[in-house]
Chains A and B, each alone.
Chain A
Amino acid sequence: MSESPQTLTIQQDSYAHLRGREAMDTPSRFRNRVSKYRVFRSSACTACNKCAELCPYGVHVRSGDRMLRPREAFCIGLACRSNDFYCISQCPEKALSMALNPLFETMGDARWSADMILATWVMAETGDVPSGGLEYEFGRSGGGFDKLAFDFPKKPAISLDEEEIDLSVELNRSGDEAERISIDIPVYGGGMSFGSVSEHTILGRCIAARNWNTFTCTGEGGYIESIVPFAKHVITQVATGLFGVREETIQRARIIEFKYAQGAKPGLGGHLLGDKVTPQVARMREAVAGSSLFSPFPFHSVYSVEDHKKHVDWIKAITPRSLISVKVSTPTDVDMVAVGSYYAGAHIVHIDGSYGGTGAAPDIAKKNIAMPIEYAIPKVHKFLREEGVRDRIVLVASGGLRNPWDIAKAIALGADAVVIGTAEMVALECIRCANCESGRGCARGIATTDPELTELIQVDYAARRLSNLYLAWSKELKRILKRLGMRSIRELVGRTDCLMRLRS
């Protein structure tokens, strides 16, 4: 038993130096950055340094008597043409030229455009949104969030300072004896198990969650010992396979999340391929290394709301002060499910839309099964309101939320807060190659348990990038609220009058 992570005493926090919310410049861990534009310097260059003097973004740098290779990632590209500091036209030797990077065109997809991936990298690096040249508000999916925009008043009703805008969300509104927990930003991290992502990734998420007084979630892979010091900010997930669920891991958590279904594969259960079940993962899950692990669907002990209540009561008996979150997918009767969860004693109902998800899932499920989150939020919000219980439960949405604008739109549609997963992966320089599931796992070291690949990401890097991402998002959310003249994110909940539909 001495090896069991649950019997270890809580260790000292060895990541104290990563505390704080200030921006911590954290550049790419790869040698060459991916840029949207390519800037070429021909041999006609005389290193006169004029371009370096002109460019406010720091693309051009002289070193000694020659110019360095242009730092293309900072170039704002074609948007710069109208500026009087546009280096291409200002170069006395006509030695500079610029074009769209063909590599950029190979990246991204309809939901996560290449622009959005690169913009997320900038946010994770600098702690603020990019200064120009990258479209991060809308993707190219042609529907949902990408066809919703804010209708800002010309002048907000009250003029506010960004300092006085409040982004915190209360997670226990039931008025029962459980703990009153509030998070400082309307975002927390979704369940990503040890096994699906690396230990360094998990630790980074925990540190960022601590810095922002919010939460991250174990997923269904057990509670690794190294995150015990962050227990105040870790949600323990109880899913159908019950991997890693023990009395200690339940008692330790301030929030327990029941995962009934997940958006990416609603109704299908989870599947961790044998390749990724390393001895360490197997020990954590109390399983055999190398053999595939299935989480069935659904809970084979839950076929009614009453059965669900029995589950909730078990948890409450073990840990009466913890909040209960119920994670469900978005079928057509998701509104009934939400109300049922409320009456069974849930504090949080977490709806996970069909277009999100981080793990491997059948393409047919991702595309087809259950509705996108954009539809589910207003459906559940309105129904809870009609039932007269909206004020007593927290509605959390996830599944394909990519950026602060999506978050604001989700809240305006009726959510109280959101849960994210993929955006965090992208902040750690995921490029969405979609090969998370095969072989040794993620070639970029994020979603892997391969010892060598895990080393591609260091805890400091992960923590800083994620903390920066949260910083950039909260800055942008405050700017949005300021333009709307709202003092708190809670004022935005369900305000569909602030939104407009764009034509397709």
Chain B
Amino acid sequence: MPKKYHITAQVMPPRFAPVPKYSMIEKEGCLGCLQCAKRECVYDVYKNRKFDPEQMIDSIDYLCKNCLRCIQGCKNQIISKMCNPDYQALGDEYWKPALISSLWDQATSGKIPVSGAGYRGPFSGPGFDSMWTDMSEIVRPTRDGIHGREYISTSVDIGRKLAQLDFGPRGELLSVAPPLVEIPVPFIFDKLPFGVMNENVRTGLVRAAEIVGTMLVIPQSDIDWKLMAHIDNIIPLITALTPIREHDAASRPQTGESLLGEIIARARMIELEDGPDVAKQMAAVKGINPSVVTCIRMPASKTVAGRVEELTRSGAEVIHIIADWQGEETCDPAETGHAAPSPRFIKEVLREVHLNLIDKALRDEVTIIAGGGIAMAEHVAKAIICGADLVGVDMALEVALECRMCKRCLHGLSCPVTIEAVDSEWAALRIRNLICSWHSQLIEVLGAMGIREVRRLRGEVGRALFFEDLEKEAFGDVRIAPDTYYSTR
């Protein structure tokens, strides 16, 4: 058995105080009681209270754990709380405030978010919230999740896989195994749809990818000689292949002279944008470096399932399907710039792609990476259940660096948390913490499902429960309330 994969997390404090959910309010009128309710604070919030003149923030709002004892104990009732509008303004309808603040906590501590007193969210919702993962009760092999003695593997192989092996007349192996890249976690870091991605951030992300053993997609134009030292953890996204196409694909260009040639020659994996001549580009890349794994990157669109099938038939090794940052289908490649009419969620797109490949007996030959809208650890498991082999993480990484998803950068405005100025090492360790937490959470759900390795989770819809099915099964025989019901209430 290989060495057990483990990420060691360490607290990495945020640069800015987290945006608290509530704000304390205190009216005038303190009576100066000797037995003040504030002194009885179980969490010593008032004792450790500080004012930060830099950020104009009173620590009380984020230290407080909302037990309400001071509010209910103050003799003149001068203390109260209210919702913090800054918190409610975080993110958007997909990247909800609670999600962002949970990601911040995970990046700070590296721990699984744990809380008491049951689930507090909505019953179900759109997208990934309309499915649950299963567990198995008594009849499966033993496993103990993250505290376990048994090994639950989270590693995945990226690349094309042979459907069968061919042997010669004397039993010698004729098949040539295509190159594979194995990473210990089922996610890669993707380039960001928006947000700050300068040298500091990029260096931090590459460093984090190195620590946890995964890879980061970087557009070729952003790769310099300094980054070449970390090429094992970089997936170059090649957009301009013209310098190579001038040569005959078979004759290798002079590497070492051009950076691009060097990138292709030394990379373990390369991404290419989908397009009419993508097959030619793949061949050109393979011509330079036959051991590189090529990945075709394409937006999630109405026609994606057919295109994936076509590419798989023509020998594609890996296909990276990208939804937008809220996990929705973007647009047809033909009519770029327009949102797809009634866009599907990545979950539906993946199920279609996956089932179509199964129908055509092609599924095991190609690796599918799903990206866009992966915002929580549960999304990793759910995307894989819906048919991806692994996922690409993007904005969640930026949120680990305290991004508030305010989208000011989209309008060319400054970043309120100056992500451009982060220290690379700090960024790397925050992201390591986030990944540590996600990895642990993934093991928790895999353990509960009775699945010992994430490879077996792919397309395992039998280990998931879907809202539509459950509603129908449980309440199908319950009639719908008539309109008169609402008018009488």
Contact = CB atoms under 8 A, between A and B. Distances in A.
Interface of A: 28, 30-34, 69, 101-103, 105-106, 109-112, 140-144, 146-149, 151, 260-261, 264, 266-269, 271, 294, 296-300, 302-305, 307-308, 328-329, 331-334, 337, 354-372, 374-375, 377-379, 400, 413, 422, 425, 430-437, 439-440, 442-444, 447, 453, 496, 499-503
A374 B473 CA distance: 11
Q: How large, as a class, is the contact surface on chain B?
A: 35 or more
B436 to A, nearest CB: 14
Contacts of B247: none
B480 A110 contact: no
Contact of B448 (A267, A333, A433): A267
Contact of B83 (A102, A294, A332, A366): A102
Interface of B: 21-22, 25, 42-43, 65-69, 71-75, 77, 80-83, 102, 112-125, 132-145, 147, 376-378, 381, 441, 444-445, 447-450, 462, 465, 470-471, 473-475, 477-482, 485
Contacts of B143: 297
A370 B115 contact: no
B448 A365 contact: yes
Contacts of A331: 134-137
A143 B123 contact: yes
Contacts of B449: 267
B132 A369 contact: yes
A364 B444 contact: yes
19 contacts: A106-B66, A106-B82, A106-B83, A110-B123, A142-B125, A146-B123, A267-B136, A303-B139, A331-B135, A355-B123, A358-B118, A361-B115, A362-B113, A364-B445, A371-B132, A371-B465, A378-B474, A379-B473, A496-B475
B117 A304 contact: no
A425 B117 CA distance: 9
A378 B477 CA distance: 10
B132 A422 contact: no
Given A296-B144, A435-B65, A366 B138 contact: no
A443 B73 contact: no
Contacts of A425: 117
A415 to B, nearest CB: 13
A433 B67 CA distance: 6
Given A34-B72, A366-B119, A368-B132, A440 B139 contact: no
Given A377-B474, A437-B116, 8 more contacts: A102-B25, A112-B118, A264-B119, A355-B118, A363-B113, A367-B121, A369-B445, A432-B120
Nearest to A145: B123
A299 B116 contact: no
Contacts of B42: 439-440, 443, 453
A502 B480 CA distance: 6
Nearest to A296: B144
A364 B113 contact: yes
Contact of A304 (B22, B138, B142): B138
Q: Lowest 6 CB-CB distances: which A-B pairs, in order?
A: A143-B123, A267-B448, A436-B116, A443-B67, A109-B120, A30-B72
A103 B80 contact: yes
Contacts of B134: 331-332, 369-370
Nearest to B481: A500
A102 B81 contact: yes
Contacts of A332: 134, 462, 465
A328 B137 CA distance: 7
Given A368-B378, A502-B481, A431 B138 contact: no
Nearest to B22: A106
A440 B114 CA distance: 16
Given A365-B448, A435-B65, A359 B116 contact: yes
A465 B114 CA distance: 29
Given A363-B102, A499-B478, A503-B480, A337 B137 contact: yes
Contacts of B81: 102-103, 106
A360 B481 contact: no
B120 A434 contact: yes
Contacts of A297: 143-145, 447-448
B144 A500 contact: no
B347 to A, nearest CB: 14
A267 B135 contact: yes
Nearest to B149: A296
Given A31-B72, A375-B473, A500 B77 contact: no
A109 B121 contact: yes
Nearest to A72: B77
A184 B143 CA distance: 40
Nearest to B128: A368
B118 A366 contact: yes
Nearest to A399: B118
Contact of A444 (B67, B122, B123): B67
A422 B118 contact: yes
Nearest to B470: A375
Contacts of B74: 31-32
B201 to A, nearest CB: 27
A1 B86 CA distance: 59
A32 B465 contact: no
B74 to A, nearest CB: 7
B80 A337 contact: no
A12 B112 CA distance: 46
A432 B117 contact: yes
B378 A501 contact: no
B433 to A, nearest CB: 16
Contacts of A362: 112-114, 441, 444
Nearest to A196: B116
Contacts of B140: 303
A368 B473 CA distance: 19
Contacts of B124: 142-143
B450 to A, nearest CB: 8
Nearest to A502: B481
Contact of A496 (B77, B118, B381, B477): B477
Contacts of B136: 267, 331, 333
Contact of B68 (A34, A294, A503): A34
B91 to A, nearest CB: 17
A102 B24 CA distance: 11
B383 to A, nearest CB: 13
Contacts of A302: 138
B71 A103 contact: yes
